[in-house]
Structure 1
Amino acid sequence: MAAAALLLLLPIIMVAVPAASAGGGEKSTHIKLYWHDVVSGPSPTAVPVARAPATNASRTGFGAVVVIDDPLTQGPDRKTSKPLGRAQGTYIAAGKDEVSLAMNMNFVFQAGRYNGSTVAIMGRNAVFDAVREMAIVGGTGVFRMARGYAQARTHTLDLKTGDATVEYNLYIKH
């Protein structure tokens, strides 16, 4: 009986799944930009919203949850570089023995050729590694059905304030 039910559904399944090349072919896009995480000063773009009881005693910040709305720019100087959009989402201090963040953010493009589109990024970010790689797991607009990876490299990190500028290279299939 299960095989008979599957045979009845097969034509529906085949109609519901479009061909991979129906949209005119897949594109590859590389975008280099800078992510500015501002935790200090009168107008921070990264705000801690939760912490575990053990977070204060942790040397890695383990258990802290931070909500972000960080600027994305074309160059590394936040004040003089062309704004491209915002990185909105969260990061969680998920490493107990090393500073490692679980990143969940959307790069929201608000200028240029990708204005109105987004790229969703998720993954592990071992902050003190020279290069960190995270997954691109989706997108909207120009980047609908996106997949790929993002490479992060710290450009500057102020250990007193916690402010950071990170170069991101996005390799996107869409």
Structure 2
Amino acid sequence: MASHFVVLALLISCHALASTSAEETGYVGPVDPKTLGLYKKDKFSHFHFYFHETFTTDNATTVTVVQPLPKYNGTTSFGSVSIMDNALTVGPNRTSKVVGRIEGLVAGTSQSEFNLLVVLNFALTEGKYNGSSIVVLGRNRLSLKVRELPVIGGTGVFRFATGYAEANTVFIEPTVRSTVEYNIYVSHY
């Protein structure tokens, strides 16, 4: 009985300390999860997209803004930074229905392999997902056929989203264009 009293007293003390320190900071406070739409049950969704990038011509959709270091130019692209704004389609053909854009940044981050750090926003434009986005950030190991990347969040219906994405290069014509398939498995409210 005495141990239950000690545990209860400890819990009350911890709660009181947490409440006091939150109020003293002036910038932190409690939030009712319902006000953020978190009263709903989690949904699990699978999105299947393709994005199509063009590296050359006046209509380039992926542009290198920082060139790789000369030593790594032909092997790993270490040090390069590119910005992208590519169409997301439902099929592998460039003429397939567009359902959004993939906007982001990619950087060559390995001195020994062709690996990229990717920061990608899948900005959707169709149906109930119009105006919402899924954010993917991670290491894209291009030597693998299928690469797994984490979903770190999102906006709109994807607030507090988690999950993972699988990337698979369907077609590549180096320095000209490519098509990449994405399967995104996401938990969201």
Bin the TM-score by the shorter chain.
0.7 to 0.9
Alpha-carbon shift at residue 55 of structure 1 (Å): 5.5
Give the aligned partner of residue 68 of structure 1: 84
Q: Quick one: percent identity of the two aligned structures?
A: 36
Is the radius of gyration larger for structure 1 or structure 2?
2
Q: Supply the distance in 1 between the matched residues of 2:114 and 2:63 (Cα, whole angstroms).
A: 18
Check 1:162–1:124 CA distance in 2 against 1; reply closer, same or farther (3 A cut). Answer: farther
2:53 corresponds in structure 1 to 37
Q: Distance in 2 between matches of 1:21 and 1:110?
A: 21
The normalised TM-score by structure 1 is 0.86
The answer on 1:173 being equivalent to 2:182 is: no
**Aligned match of 1:82:** 97
Which residues in structure 2 correspond to 1:88-107 (within 5 Å)?
Answer: 88-107=103-122
The residue correspondences of 1:127-138 to structure 2 (distance < 5 A) are 127-138=142-153
Q: Which residue of 2 is the match for residue 7 of structure 1?
A: 16
The structure-2 alpha-carbon separation of the partners of 1:137 and 1:55, relative to structure 1 and needing over 3 Å to count, comes to farther
Q: Using the alignment, how far apart are the partners of 1:126 and 1:164 within structure 2?
A: 16
Aligned length: 170
Alignment TM-score, normalising by the size of structure 2: 0.80
Does structure 1 retain, via aligned residues, the 8 Å contact 2:81–2:106?
Answer: yes
Say whether the 8 Å CA contact 1:114–1:142 is kept in structure 2. yes
Change in 2 beyond 3 A, CA 1:38/1:95: same
Q: How does 1:152-163 map to 2 (within 5 A)?
A: 152-159=167-174, 161-163=175-177
Unaligned 5+ segments in structure 2 are 1-11, 23-27
Counterpart in the other structure of 1:144: 159
